[in-house]
């Protein structure tokens, strides 16, 4: 007899099988008993009219770990189209205590604090499982697309000797008696690695000591990072962003329909050419369409982004919009200026449904330009010595981008809080579970 | 005209192509000039008798970033079997300074400190590139095998509220005014996630504040972690270890022959059944074969491991040997004892060529057993409260293992120091580059 996963049951109609998992639900309705087993991939229902079949569950509660043995019956009206009849029930781990969060309702009936305090158990809920299965699928789709484009995966250090992009908002620790910091991003290392492999990507944690208390910020998140050489400009990077998003969503479309349906989420079509607007054009558009003059502002506000998102949808039928050429003054020192107008940069943000999802651009690649940029930013060169070595000994024009995995899920799934896209979120108040 | 990577050139014989990369070597031999271009994947040679063709390189040094244009010629005696004749050379980033480490010799002519101090450049050496391409391949092979076994990838927090496995050797940091720690392993979280997905894996950094100064220790490394439920015993885990190693090495065999050849490394055959010895049997064997009585010792010494590795090779022709049943006294509190002999554990080490490579085993899964184990270990239950919630609400028998990526590469490639398997190693003295 095969031991199978719930999602495989439809392929075993008429055959005896064994399934293992958690007692997700038990309903006794007028002499008919429904036992629902949940495993790591889905759920299956077993039906019996015999009280004797239920004997092993007497006195036990939900989340008891069990095995069900029985013949798979095609049952169109059952969830998943199959069920077991008159199962043999074996108890693997008996549970009697009632859990902190009910798991057997379609919607999770718990507020955010309760959900996060008890994430250890709450993440077992099918709707929570679905979010994190999609996270795994997003990582897989990201990597597959980049491997197909001949990128090499790297793992760069998270313990660093100096704060990278900015001195503020960095976690400091005691490293054998001297200060070390947690990397805010793999930015410097991924650039260095362009000198080695020309095209690199990394999936890993980044740490931001930002004292933000918003629905969009957490202090540790998973960053999907890309960097590559021999580009023309930031438009080469934007073309890769487009390919990566298309590859990522097509992986989800191919293998995660059940999760998307459960979460009532729609995958956005990724246009062959994602529309783009220059930063200055975007500000003109806002003035023209909404009568609000934001020209001269060095950045876009959330309201600006929403307006631009609406415009992209109306004008181009696109959930996505690139805004290019952000002013240099708001971009980090390694940003490449627009050669035609050096107050603007060869950088971009990708707005997804009216909210920034991805930031990227072309970087400086000449050693002399780095020395000048650090001087302009009033930064000493010494802490950047090893980073600068990459440029001193030959770097091509290059650029890249980063996607926050949790933000991507939040926006894709319409979650009200990024914490709901994080297994065990870290914020100012939360270090557990 | 196609812009191609060096490793694609053999497919373009007779066609004009463009290649971009670094000026790896330039030799002028009696009127014939050899230009070697290195890119992120390999190298190609271009040949010209015309000094005029070299004009763009006058005054420039190695590591200048260049593009070569020319027709691919099949040349059996050339490295890779193809070369360009009379290339057009374009300089993308001119370099005049001589680098800190010569990159164009077959062997790297630099001692370890120089190599590590200048890893930013030294990692461009073909032999260094090959190590890190194999690291990428090992991660890909690991993930592929586990995905094929229906494991779900997770990303768990690296910032934690309490030291996990042991209180010592953990990095502490200031987390918004209170102490936090860097995770020494994802052990607790991967177990918790067995309650969600039944089978999980994670690839990510782990942090050990161990004050070791050896060739085998670094303070941040990449851990390949696996955990899964519904096992019989540690032997179920060992069977998965075998499948993962076989999958990982077959990925390397399929796609990384050039790297393995360059590094003169042989992939070990993974026996269908990896031999195994109980810890007590292993000690008896050492007494019998070497006359050294280590019976009663709670652990194996490096010398013991070497002897056992030799025995596995002689007796079974195997590079691998499982030693099972390590004494409970040396295993962490969550270790499952051997039901037949509770002084020993349901755990194992995998020795590879006489050195420990993987540690794993069955874990406790009953809430009551955890409370008893913590009490026995004189550990308070409070810091483990959220971890224990997983067991309180239903966990199956489960187990797992972890592979240190850098150790795997070190042993596979016969590297003298684990730092050579790490892009930018972190040790007591080294936080840069």
Residues 352-391 of A with CB under 8 A from B: 365-366, 386-387, 389-390
Mean pLDDT of A389-418: 98
Burial of B107 (0-12, 13-18, 19+ CB in 10 A): exposed
Q: A31 vs chain B: nearest CA distance in angstroms?
A: 28
Indicate yes or no: CB of A387 within 8 angstroms of CB of B120.
yes
Mean pLDDT of chain B: 96
Cβ-based contacts of A392 with chain B (< 8 Å):
95, 97
B182 vs A contacts (CB less than 8 Å): 173, 182
Is residue A168 located within the same domain as residue A286?
A: yes
Tokens of B230: 């519904």
In a domain, A396, yes or no: yes
Give the rounded percent of residues in chain A with a pLDDT score beyond 70. Answer: 99
Classify strands B320-324 and B276-278 as parallel, antiparallel or unpaired: parallel
Q: What is the mean pLDDT of chain A?
A: 96
Domain presence at residue B112: no
What's residue B166's pLDDT?
61
Task: Label residue B109 by pLDDT band (50, 70, 90).
Answer: confident
Report the CATH number that the domain containing residue B59 is assigned in CATH. Answer: 2.40.50.140
Q: Which long-range contacts (CB under 8 A, 24 or more apart) does B307-313 make?
A: B307/B354, B308/B277, B308/B282, B308/B351, B308/B354, B309/B351, B309/B352, B309/B353, B309/B354, B309/B355, B310/B354, B311/B285, B312/B275, B312/B351
pLDDT at residue B164 in the model: 62
Mean pLDDT, residues A270-282: 98
Contact A171 B174 (CB under 8 A): yes
Residue A133 lies in a domain: yes
Going by C-beta distance under 8 Å and a sequence separation of 6 or more, which residues neighbour residue A225? A185, A186, A187, A190, A201, A202, A203, A204, A400, A401, A402
pLDDT one-digit tens code per residue, A170-226: 999 999 999 999 999 999 999 999 999 999 999 999 999 998 889 999 999 999 999
* B426, part of any domain: no
Residues B51 and B150 reside in one and the same domain: no
Q: What residues contact residue A210 under an 8 Å CB cut-off, 6+ apart? A: A169, A217, A219
A72 and A153 in a single domain? The answer is no
pTM of the predicted model over 0.90: yes
- Gap between the Cα atoms of B61 and B204, Å rounded: 38
Q: Kindly list the residues from chain A whose CB atom is less than 8 angstroms away from the CB atom of residue B426.
A: 157, 159
Pairing of strands A199-207, B355-363: unpaired
Partner A contacted by B101 (CB < 8 A)? no
B348 Cβ under 8 Å from any chain A Cβ: no
Nearest residue of chain B to residue A198 (CA atoms): B40
CATH number at residue B141: 3.30.930.10
Residue B353 lies in a domain: yes
Determine the distance in angstroms separating the CA of A312 from the nearest CA of chain B, rounded to an integer: 33
What is residue A417's three-state secondary structure?
coil
Residue B428 lies in a domain: no
CA atoms within 13 A on the CB side of A190: 30
Confidence (pLDDT) at B255 = 97
Residue B133 lies in a domain: yes
Q: Do B152 and A133 touch (CB under 8 A)?
A: yes
Q: Give yes or no: residues A79 and A130 share one domain.
A: no
pLDDT of residue B162: 84
Interface test with B, best of A44, A203, A394 (most B CBs within 10 A): A394
Examine the domain organization and report whether B88 and B134 are in the same domain: no
Provide the pLDDT for residue A212. 85
pLDDT of A164 strictly over 70: no
Q: Which domain holds residue A404?
A: 126-421
* Whether residue A166 has pLDDT greater than 70: no
Minimal C-alpha gap between B412 and chain A (Å): 19
Let me know whether B42 and B157 are in one domain: no
CA distances from B368 to A144, B226, B277, B397 (A): 43, 24, 31, 14
The answer, yes or no, to whether ipTM is higher than 0.95 is yes
Closest CA–CA distance from residue B328 to any residue of chain A (Å): 23
Give the pLDDT confidence of A205-220 residue by residue, as tens digits.
999 999 888 999 999 9
Tens-digit pLDDT profile for residues A37-91: 999 999 999 999 999 999 999 999 999 999 999 999 999 999 889 999 999 999 9
Among B268, B243, B225, which Cα is nearest to B363's? B225
How many structural domains is chain A composed of? 2
């Amino acid at each position: 007899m095969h031991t199978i996963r719930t999602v495989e049951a439809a392929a075993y109609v008429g055959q005896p099988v064994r399934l293992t998992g958690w007692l997700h639900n038990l309903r006794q309705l007028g002499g008919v008993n429904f036992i629902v087993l949940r495993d790591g991939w889905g759920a299956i229902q077993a039906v019996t009219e015999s009280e004797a079949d239920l004997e092993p569950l007497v006195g036990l509660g939900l989340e008891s770990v069990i095995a069900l043995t029985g013949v798979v019956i095609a049952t169109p009206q059952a969830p998943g189209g199959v069920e077991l009849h008159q199962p043999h029930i074996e108890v693997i781990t008996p549970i009697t205590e009632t859990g902190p969060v009910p798991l057997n309702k379609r919607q999770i009936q718990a507020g955010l604090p309760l959900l996060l305090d008890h994430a250890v158990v709450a993440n077992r809920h099918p709707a929570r499982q679905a979010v994190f299965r999609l996270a795994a699928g997003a990582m897989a789709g990201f990597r597959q697309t980049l491997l197909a484009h001949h990128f090499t995966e790297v793992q760069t250090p998270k313990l660093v000797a100096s704060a990278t992009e900015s001195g503020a908002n960095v976690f400091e620790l005691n490293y054998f008696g001297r200060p070390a910091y947690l990397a805010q991003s793999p930015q410097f290392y991924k650039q260095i690695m362009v000198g080695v492999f020309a095209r690199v990507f990394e999936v890993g944690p980044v740490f931001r000591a930002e004292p933000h208390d918003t629905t969009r910020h957490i202090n540790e998140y998973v960053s999907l990072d890309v960097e590559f050489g021999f580009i023309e400009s930031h438009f080469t990077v934007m073309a890769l962003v487009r390919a990566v998003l298309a590859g990522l969503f097509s992986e989800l479309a191919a293998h995660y329909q059940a999760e998307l349906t459960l979460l009532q989420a729609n995958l956005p079509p990724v246009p062959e050419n994602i529309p783009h607007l220059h930063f200055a054009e975007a500000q003109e558009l806002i003035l023209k369409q909404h009568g609000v003059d934001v020209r001269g502002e060095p950045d876009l506000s959330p309201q600006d982004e929403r307006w631009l998102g609406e415009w992209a949808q109306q004008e181009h039928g696109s959930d996505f919009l690139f805004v290019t050429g952000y002013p240099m003054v708001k971009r980090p020192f390694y940003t490449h200026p627009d050669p035609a107008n050096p107050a603007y940069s060869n950088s971009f943000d990708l707005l997804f449904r009216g909210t920034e999802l991805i930031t990227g651009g072309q970087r400086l690649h000449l050693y002399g330009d780095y020395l000048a940029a650090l001087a302009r930013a009033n930064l000493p060169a010494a802490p950047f010595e090893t980073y600068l070595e990459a440029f001193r000994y030959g770097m091509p024009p290059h650029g890249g981008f980063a996607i926050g995995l949790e933000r991507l899920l939040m926006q894709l799934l319409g979650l009200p809080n990024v914490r709901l896209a994080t297994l065990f979120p870290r914020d100012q108040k939360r270090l557990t579970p």
